[in-house]
Structure 1
């Protein structure tokens, strides 16, 4: 369930006011491109000199303990500055059973979505070549059609800023089965998800959209995607230990790190990332260092300086002062420095890459396990912030909001919210109900986000520093909300604001009432189902007759039969969630039979329960039965209502297999 929770809340929302597309900020060719102004005034303190000796000592003091504490077997870290590698170092094991160490020059890790930076670089190469236009309808480059949404097409600029409007797509995502690999030509029309937001309005992360960009590169270049990346990125940079190919080329297989649930468990199979341009890269730390140096050096070997500036300096609209998307990279402001970055997570590998152009610094970390309780996220977050505090320090001068206003604003934020990165038109929307983000209040009246606390290294302390802008005193990360007519319309926080926003959960699907209603409903259904055979046994023991006859008896028995069918459907959904949580690939084909069965059984069971429960209630009233039987019948009708509502509202029916 941890992976599902992160997938759905992130680790899902509409903007209150549509955001207009913003043109690229193109800097002239120069040694270093200019960055946008920082969001807050910073006063730099004297940094520690970033040299190999100090950096290695600092990392050696932090990372081994952090990995051991998190039960992560191994990691690789690379830091570059001024066009040179400051340090590239492996920690722990690439293969625990063989006690094989992580070798930064040759050991391959899976950077996950950091792979997208290579896809975006390829797109910009084709823009530079005049074969692609960032603001043209992408249908001009495709051999199938993506329907318009609200009359508007999508563009590559939408795709590169995660504002194409696609809902989450999970079916063709990750698998442990090598047979899951398919060509982009086959996958793109097959896996096309619904669009749920108007293009350019709402950040909503999309692996499908990135794979679509890779397919477009494939079509306009005339080269298959894997070959294109090898020829136009790997070879120019000398990245000899990198590949997007799946399974890996034979020569690289001996260098591949194993992936683990944690250090105490056995290694897992090589993951197949089905939308390959979105995350299939395998690369050594040293090779990732070469990629960082190229981008920091105005794209040297990959792009012209003006194209690199266009890519790095673009700033998409976002939520208030929070981080937003560049073209493909996303902002991560820290201590007054604008980093452009990308994170990446497969099931077993967890990575992050940061570039700080104004300091000519790049940092990359990849780990071969999520660790205990998903602690890899906290490890990399702490690495970034502590690194910045040591080598890129700044003195924060946050503003203040008076206590009365702060308390009122915090109270206004309380509630349940859905993430724009989610599913909305298929049965996977059920996971959104299970993972709704909730904002509450601490004892001293500050906002609290328990579900997101695990993504940071320490406890969060959100202090309002400007109207509807909060700052975490530990990391400096901000949370901001947009408010209209005294109501919160959407909010986000720095770590996710470039690609994900949250809006208030609609009344009809708000977990605040719906989850308790479901608990009540399922409790009543369980009691009704169990009481049926128990009462039969009691009557048999005492040789008593059943008081109901004719239609009344049929109504009673059918209502209990459908109660058991509801419990059967519930067991099926729980089984599906458990299977998906254990192996995300299982939902991409092996469990199709169960998905089809559940989407037939669930509406049959819930609607059948409601009809028969109402019939049973009518017969109880007509037959003037005891008040206890009437009460039981009423409760069963009340239990059936939220079950039917969830079935319909969360699309637990139908036969569409795109989800």
Structure 2
């Protein structure tokens, strides 16, 4: 059983995040049949337009759960072998010994060993995680750049690998999910975006979830503000941005209500079969983009330090200026989806160590109130 929702505490927690420095945020929280939606702050710092809980939002790597679900549907139909070598399907993109050793599962759970292509597309990431010596100029340079997915993949595949295929810990790498997008295109005869839309988004009945067709977000949305660790002051606005650098790895647009519905149906075994869901929840150790070692499944991961009532599963995501977290308890009885319109608010000290910010504690408090009551 879940503790009942406390609207006053949830409203206070959201407002506390805004007061701690977040321009705007909005969320949906569910306990059983109870649903609370709330928002605080500003969607547009120039006009003062307030955020509302129904806005569309770039959800970043939350996209990976949708892509993983699409791949597993093709596994269920027999078109893809979960433990088959990727070279069987994409021999030109992952040739030779790597193509023979890297399996579809390794791409899904980030144990392929393949490098991340982002530092090559965005030199701002070239020294990641030693970001204190980098600048954000490449973000401005590429606001409207249309990246070629195959070229990004070749960059990641051709870079020095993080580890041998199947090594532990693996490396969280967007190269893996761009390869999965090409795999979907190969076996379905359509684009990955089209297949994910028909097989996953439409199946879940999501009305406000879509892949972008250009640099703009269609429909009401918040502007997105990037601080880049204090190097952009005031934060730069990056709402208009070509997401071809991410594709089915991290480009999806959605709402907190749609994300809640998607994860609720997924954990109930209504998007992929229960056997596929069990595979999604088999975790391995992976080094995250923040340099932390985390548990990661197939497009899903468990919340660290899950509290009473069971483990929460879901995914987080970031884009330039925007962040999202969607989590649901394993029994489906409690869940949270939250979107924020500022990213990378922490700053570095003289030794290059990221410093705590009041937003960190305020967001942690919101998550605690939302997920545990």
TM-score band w.r.t. shorter chain: 0.7 to 0.9
- Residue aligning to 2:110: 162
CA contact (8 A) 1:164 1:200 kept: yes
TM-score by length of 1: 0.46
**Equivalent of residue 4 in structure 2, options 44, 50, 58:** 50
TM-score by length of 2: 0.78
Structure 2 Cα separation of the partners of residues 151 and 216 of structure 1: 13
1:295 aligned to 2:266? yes
**Equivalent of residue 238 in structure 2, options 256, 268, 273:** 268
- Secondary structure at the aligned position of 2:342 is classed as coil
Specify which structure has the bigger relative contact order, considering alpha-carbon pairs within 8 angstroms and separated by 6 or more residues: 2
Structure 2 Cα separation of the partners of residues 270 and 218 of structure 1: 27
- Give the CA deviation at 1:133: 0.9
Q: Against the structure 1 CA distance between its residues 205 and 148, is the aligned structure 2 distance closer, same or farther, given a 3 Å change threshold?
A: farther
Structure 1 Cα separation of the partners of residues 34 and 42 of structure 2: 22
- Residue aligning to 1:349: 322
Q: Against the structure 1 CA distance between its residues 133 and 237, is the aligned structure 2 distance closer, same or farther, given a 3 Å change threshold?
A: same
Structure 2 Cα separation of the partners of residues 134 and 264 of structure 1: 46
- Residue aligning to 1:110: 58
1:152-191 equivalent positions in 2, closer than 5 A: 153-169=101-117, 170-172=119-121, 175=139, 177=142, 179-191=144-156
**Equivalent of residue 80 in structure 1, options 30, 34, 43:** 30
- For structure 1, which runs of at least 5 residues remain unmatched after alignment? 1-46, 392-659
- Secondary structure at the aligned position of 1:253 is classed as coil
1:225 aligned to 2:166? no
Structure 2 Cα separation of the partners of residues 85 and 186 of structure 1: 47
CA contact (8 A) 1:365 1:380 kept: no
Structure 2 Cα separation of the partners of residues 151 and 122 of structure 1: 21
- Give the CA deviation at 1:317: 5.8
State the number of aligned residues: 331
CA contact (8 A) 1:80 1:292 kept: no
- Residue aligning to 2:306: 334
1:580-619 equivalent positions in 2, closer than 5 A: none
**Equivalent of residue 315 in structure 1, options 272, 283, 292:** 283
- Give the CA deviation at 1:382: 3.6
**Equivalent of residue 333 in structure 2, options 353, 356, 360:** 360
CA contact (8 A) 2:57 2:339 kept: yes
Q: CA offsets per residue over residues 574-604 of structure 1, 9 Å max, x none?
A: xxxxxxxxxxxxxxxxxxxxxxxxxxxxxxx
**Equivalent of residue 61 in structure 1, options 9, 12, 18:** 12
1:428-443 equivalent positions in 2, closer than 5 A: none
What CA RMSD, in Å, does the superposition of the two structures yield over aligned residues?
Answer: 2.9
CA contact (8 A) 1:172 1:275 kept: no
Structure 2 Cα separation of the partners of residues 78 and 183 of structure 1: 35
- For structure 2, which runs of at least 5 residues remain unmatched after alignment? 123-137, 228-232, 288-292, 348-356
Q: Against the structure 1 CA distance between its residues 269 and 323, is the aligned structure 2 distance closer, same or farther, given a 3 Å change threshold?
A: closer
- Secondary structure at the aligned position of 1:167 is classed as coil
**Equivalent of residue 239 in structure 1, options 194, 198, 206:** 206
**Equivalent of residue 73 in structure 2, options 93, 109, 125:** 125
1:511-526 equivalent positions in 2, closer than 5 A: none
- Residue aligning to 1:527: none
Structure 2 Cα separation of the partners of residues 306 and 103 of structure 1: 38
- Give the CA deviation at 1:49: 2.6
Larger Rg: 1
Structure 2 Cα separation of the partners of residues 129 and 181 of structure 1: 33
1:408-419 equivalent positions in 2, closer than 5 A: none
